[in-house]
Structure 1
Amino acid sequence: MRFLYLLLFCVTLTILPGFEQPEDKEEVTRIIEVDGDPHFVKRDIERMLPRLEVMAVYDTVFNGIAVKGKPAHLSKLSKIEAIVNQHPVQTYRTMDENLNESVPFLLQENREKRTIPFTGKGVKVGVIDTGLDYTHPDLAANYKGGFDVFDFDDDPMESIEENPTIHGTHVAGVIGANGRMKGIAPDVELYGYRALGPGGFGTSVHVIAAMEEAVKDNMDIINLSLGNDVNGPDWPTSVAVDKAVELGTTVVVAAGNTGPDDWTVGSPATASKAITVGASTPPLKIPVLIDRFAKKEIPLIPMMGSTDWKLDKRYQLVYGGVGDEPIDNAQGKIVVMKRGIVPFTEKAELAEKSGAIALIVYNNEAGEFQGAIDDGSINIPVVAVSEEDGEWLKQQSDSSKTGWVDTEYVDIVDSLAPFSSRGPVTANWSIKPDILAPGVSINSTIPGGYQKLQGTSMAAPHIAGVAALIKEAHPDWQPKDIKTALLSTATPLKNKEGKLLAPTEQGMGKVNVPSAVQPKLQIDPSQLNFGRFNSSYPKKKIRVQIKNTSKSSQKVHFSLPKKKHGLIWDLPKAFTLEPDQSKSIEIGLNVTSVFLDKGLHQGWIRMAVPDQTFDLPYLFMLETSDYPRAMGFEIAVSDFDSSTYDYQFYLPEDADNVKVDLYNPDSLMHERTLFELSDQQKGVIEGELSSHEIGKDGSYIAVITVENEDNHYSYGIPVEINNFH
C-alpha cells in the first residue's frame, strides 16, 4: 500500500492542504512537542530507538525535536512519556517592481540626499528564506554569515542549479542592498538562513530550525517572507514566532497573497507578536484598457515575469479560449484567454506564436488574481483581469466593429494590492495585517542582476529595514517598542471616495518611516481587538498605554466615532502628557446585540494632539461570522499501521459535531459518511480511520459539516481519493 492523497479546496478560498503518504519502507519526519528538556528526550530516543534519527532539537523558539525514521520505528515513540504531541510537516512557500522608487518613496526623500540620519548600522538582520547570493555586488559588503538548514552547513547560498531560486536575494536587497541599488537600511549586517530549498519550498522543520539558528545568533530582526494557508494563531511556526519575540528578536512576516477575501492571512503571519505586513503600491503608472463608447475602463495586472505593457495605440481583440487550440487571425491583435487548464506560460507562447501583440488572461472565478510566467521566455506583455472584465472583453472580441480598445496610463499610489491577504485571525479574532508597505512592482537584487517581483514578500522586507533604522536610533528598545512605534505612526489608507479602508485590509495603514523612527506618541496597543461579544459579555474594556516621546507637552483627546445604533463607547476625557510621561487609559465598548447584525464589526477611533491625529482601528465579532470552520485537513495511511489512516485538521472554535460526507460529483447522490465526531474542542483535531471506513477509490464532493449549538456550516469540496496497493 503506497499512499492515499486527499487535497481539499474550501469554498472560502482557504486551502485545506493534504500530503502524500510514503511507502512503509520510506522515511518520514515528524515534529515532536515534548514536556521538559528536549535534549534529554533526544538522549532517550538515541538510547532506546537507535533506528530513528533526531534531525533537530528545538529549545529556543519551540520546545521539541524533529525525528526522522520509518513508520514502524516511529510508532515506538509512544514509549517515551515526555512526548506531548506530534505535528505533521507542513509545507511553506515563498510569498511573491521598483526599489529605486519604493525606498525614496517610503523615506520621503529625494535621490540626491538621504534625509533620515540612520542607515541600520550595527543592526543584525536575519533573512529566513531561499538563501541569498552573498556574492552579489550590492550585498557582499553587508553579508556577515548565516546557516543552511537544508544542507546543514554555514553556506546559505541560493539554489543555483536544481530549480534555481531568487527570492531570498530579492528580499535581502530590499532590506540592505548597498551598491548600485540602496535598500531601506543600507548599512545593516545581513545574515542568510536557508529554510526554503529548490523551487522555494520547505517544511515547518526547516522554518523552525532556521528560527532557532537566527535567535541563537542574536539577530535583532528576522524577516519571514513565507507562509501557509492555516488561519490560526497556534500552529507551531506561529508559536515559534511569538517565542522569538519574547526572547528579544523583532519578527516581520509577510501576510500572504491570497486576498482579497477576509480570513486569508495564514500562519506564521497569524502570530500575535509578529509584525504582519500587507502590500500597497508605490508610485506606479498602471495600464488601463479604455473603450470610450462603452464608458469602460479595465485595469491590467501585469503577470510576474512579463515584459511591460507599452501599447500606445488602438488594437483589436481576438478570443483564444483557454489556449488549448490554435488561434486564427491573431496577427497584430490582443488575445483574450480564460484562466484554466493550460499554464500561463503555455498560453503566452501560443499567443506569441500566433502573432499577437499582447495577451490578457481573465479569471475563471469572481475577483482579480495574480499570475506569473517563466521569466525571459515570452516577448509580449501578459496581464490579468477579473472574470467580469474578461467576459466583457470576450464579448467585444466577437465583433469587428466594437472589438477595439485603447490603452491609457494612470498614475496610482498608496493603493491596497488586491492580492494582499486580509484578516482577521480566527480563534483570537484579532486584526491582521498590522501594517502596509510597498509590494507591487518592486525591483531588487537577484543572483546575477536585478528583477521586478511583487507580493507581500516584497512588502515585509521594507518593514524589516525600517525596524533596523528604529533599532539603530533606539538601541535599548525591545521588539514590543519597535512594533508600537511602527503601528502608532502609520497612516491609514482611504478609498476613492475618501473613506478609510477596513482595518482587516490594512491594519494601521501605510508605514510612515520618519515618524516611526522618531515617534511623538507611542500607543500600546494601537489596535483595539475586543474579541467576541455575546449576550453574556455585552461590555468590554481595553487598557491602552500612551507615552509622550516628544520634547514638548501633548494634550490628548478622543473623538467619538460616528454614532451607530447598538454601540456605546466609553472614551477617556482629555489629558496632558509631559515629555517622557506615560498614562494608562481605558477604552470601553458596550454592545446591544439586538440592534446589530451578527458578524464582524470594525471601524476607527480618532485620537488627536494639537498638530497630529491618530486613527486607532477596532474590531469585534458579534456572536459569529463567516470564518472558515475547518482548516489544514490532512489524511493519509498511518505512519505506524498501514491498515489505518490518520487524519488531522484545525478548528478555530469548539464544535458540537463535525461530519464529512462523500457525494458522487456527477449525480450529487450521497455515497457514504467518511467520519463523524462530537464534542470537539478548538485546536488541532487528530484521529484515525480503518481501510473499511475509507472505502473505495474515486473522485467525490466532500461535504464537511460543522455544527455548533443551533447552527451548522457546510462546505462542498472536490476530493480525489487514491488508495494504491
Structure 2
Amino acid sequence: MAAYAQDPAAEIQPLEPAPSNEDGQLVDESAQLWFVELASPPAVDGTSQANLTKEKQAFRADAKRKGVVFEERFAFGTLWNGLSIRAGSAQLEALQTVAGVKAIYPVATIAIPETSQSLPELSTALAMTGVDVAQAELGLTGAGIKVAVMDTGIDYNHPDLGGCFGTGCRVALGWDFVGDDYNADETSPAYNPITAPDNDPDDCNGHGTHVSGIVGASGDPAAGGARGVAPGVTFGAYRVFGCDGSTTADIMIAAMERARADGMNVLNMSIGSAFTWPQYPTATASDHLVESGIGMVVVASIGNSGASGVYSAGAPGLGEKVIGVASFDNTDIALNVFTISPDGTKIGYGPAAAAPTPPTSGSLPMARTG
C-alpha cells in the first residue's frame, strides 16, 4: 500500500521516522536511496493486502534484529511489492540477508527533459503520426478517455487545455507529489530533497504543459491556438518534478498508483532513466498497470541517450507491456499537390525556407512557348 493511501497530504513522507543517534543514525556514510523488492507478488497479481503488510512487518523486524540502519520513504504493494529506503552503502550486505528480500535496486534520479530552443518543423507531424486520418476521416477526438500525464504538472489555466482544474474541467484530477522547490539532484546548488505535496498540480516549468498540448490541446489553429492529437480527452496531472531539477524513481511509482486509483485509462510518461533494464521497479510497475485488469495503456519515452549506444534505453519505457516511444528522422512529408495538364500528372510541393506561403488553389502556366 502506497504511503498516500492513508493521507494524501503526506504523500512521500517517511512511513517510519529517521533513526535517532542512539539507534545508529547514518554518520560518515554516503547515504543513498534504494528499492528493496520483497518476495511476494504485488496485489494486482493476487497477493492480499494483509499478507503484503505482514511481509513488510517481518522485514522491518528482522532488519532491526540484524542492526540494519535505514530510513523508510515509501511502502508499495499495489503495482510493485517492496519499499524505498535511504541507507548507506555499508548497510547493503546485511540488507540482502533480511527476511523476504528478493532484490535491491538503486533509486534512480531523473532529470527534467531539456527543452529545445529551436522551432519544431511540423510539416511532417500529421502524416507521420496519422493524426490527420484519425481526426478528419475517423472522427476520433478522445472524448471519454482519461489521460494521466506524469511530468512537471499541467498549466490548467491555459485556454487550450480548458482554463480550469477540477470536476467539469478538462484537467479534472491530479496531485503534486513534490512542491515547487523540490530538486533531487544532489550535485545541484538548488538541491532540496524536502517534498511539499499538495492537491494543486499546476506547472511552473512548462514541459508537462507542452506534453499535454501534444496529447490533447483543443485550441483553434486558425486563431493562433494549438490542437493536439486527441482534443476531447480529460486529463489527470501527476506532478513529480519541482520547477527545476530532478525527481526520483520511487516518486514515479507513487504517481502510478495514484493514477490507477483515479481510474485513468492512459498514462503518459515523457521521462525515464537511461541504461536500465526491464526488471527495474518503474518498468515492472508499469507492466502491472497494463495487466491490472482496468485496461490501462502505458506510454513512455524510451530515452534521449541513443547516441551513447546500445543498452541506453531507459525505464519505464522498456517495460515489456509499455509502449516505448523513440524518436527518429521523419521520412513522410505532407505536401500540397498540383496537377499538370493535359496528362494529369500530380506533383507535390511545399514552401521553400523563408519563402512566402505558396498558393493551394487556382491555376498558373508552368511554361510559355511561341
- Residue 320 of structure 2, aligned match among 269, 272, 275: 272
Equivalent-residue separation in structure 1 for 2:260 and 2:249 (angstroms) = 16
Aligned residue for 2:251?
206
The amino acid across from 1:118 in the alignment is L
Structure 1: 5+ residue runs without aligned partners?
Answer: 1-21, 286-309, 313-407, 409-725
SS in 1 for 2:36: strand
User: Of 80, 87, 108, which residue of structure 2 is paired with 1:62?
Assistant: 80
Is 2:110 the counterpart of 1:84? Answer: no
Confirm whether residue 253 of structure 1 aligns to residue 293 of structure 2.
no
Query: Superposed, which structure 2 residues align to 1:565-714 within 5 Å?
Result: none
Please state how far the C-alpha of 1:185 moved relative to its aligned partner.
Answer: 0.8
Candidates 190, 208, 215, aligned match of 1:168: 208
Q: Does 1:153 align with 2:198?
A: yes
- Give 1:325-724 correspondences, 5 Å limit: none
The residue that corresponds to 1:39 in the other structure is 53
Q: Does 1:237 align with 2:259?
A: no
Q: Which has the higher contact order (CA 8 A, sep 6+)?
A: 2
Aligned partners of 1:77, 1:264: CA distance in 2, in Å?
29
Distance 1:129 1:58 in 2: 20
Normalising by the residue count of structure 2, what TM-score does the alignment of the two structures yield? 0.60
Kindly indicate whether the alpha-carbon contact (under 8 Å) linking 1:32 and 1:85 is maintained by their aligned counterparts in 2: yes
**Deviations along 1:528-573, whole A, 9 cap, x unmatched?**
xxxxxxxxxxxxxxxxxxxxxxxxxxxxxxxxxxxxxxxxxxxxxx
Q: 1:198 to 1:32 in 2, by over 3 A?
A: farther
Q: Distance in 1 between matches of 2:211 and 2:149?
A: 8
Distance in 1 between residues matched to 2:230 and 2:101, nearest whole Å: 43
CA distance, structure 1, for counterparts of residue 75 and residue 305 of structure 2: 33
Amino acid at match of 1:117: G
CA–CA distance in structure 1, aligned partners of residues 306 and 97 of structure 2: 45
When residues 69 and 232 of structure 1 are mapped into structure 2, their CA distance, relative to the original with a 3 A threshold, is: closer
Letter of the 1:258 counterpart: S
> Closer, same or farther in 2 for the Cα pair 1:70/1:264, shift >3 Å?
closer
Instruction: Look up the SS of the partner of 2:244 in the other structure.
Output: helix
Aligned amino acid, residue 178 of structure 1: S
Give the letter aligned to residue 171 of structure 2. Answer: Y
CA contact (8 A) 1:30 1:67 kept: yes
2:121 paired with 1:133:
no
- Structure 1's 99 and 172: CA in aligned 2 closer, same or farther, altered over 3 A? farther
Aligned to 2:227: 182
2:322 is matched by which residue type in structure 1? A
What is the aligned-residue RMSD (CA, Å)? 3.8
SS of the equivalent of 1:60 reads coil
Change in CA separation of 1:255 and 1:25 when aligned onto 2, cut-off 3 Å: closer
Distance 1:133 1:267, change over 3 A: same
Secondary structure of the residue that 2:232 maps to in structure 1? coil
CA distance in 2, matches of 1:252, 1:86: 26
Partners of 2:160 and 2:217 within 8 A in 1: yes
Measure how far apart 1:271 and its partner are.
1.7
Shift of 1:212: 1.9
Amino acid at match of 1:270: L
Shift of 1:33: 0.4
Higher strand share: 1
Task: Say which of 111, 120, 123 aligns to 2:145.
Answer: 123
SS at match of 1:30: strand
SS of corresponding position for 2:173: strand
Aligned-pair identity in percent equals 31
Structure 2 regions of 5+ residues with no counterpart?
A: 1-25, 41-50, 164-168, 179-195, 220-224, 336-352, 356-370
Contact 1:52 1:74 in 2 (8 A): no
Distance in 1, Cα, partners of 2:280 & 2:92: 22
Structure 2 Cα separation of the partners of residues 177 and 214 of structure 1: 20
- Kindly indicate which of the two structures has a greater share of residues assigned to helix: 2
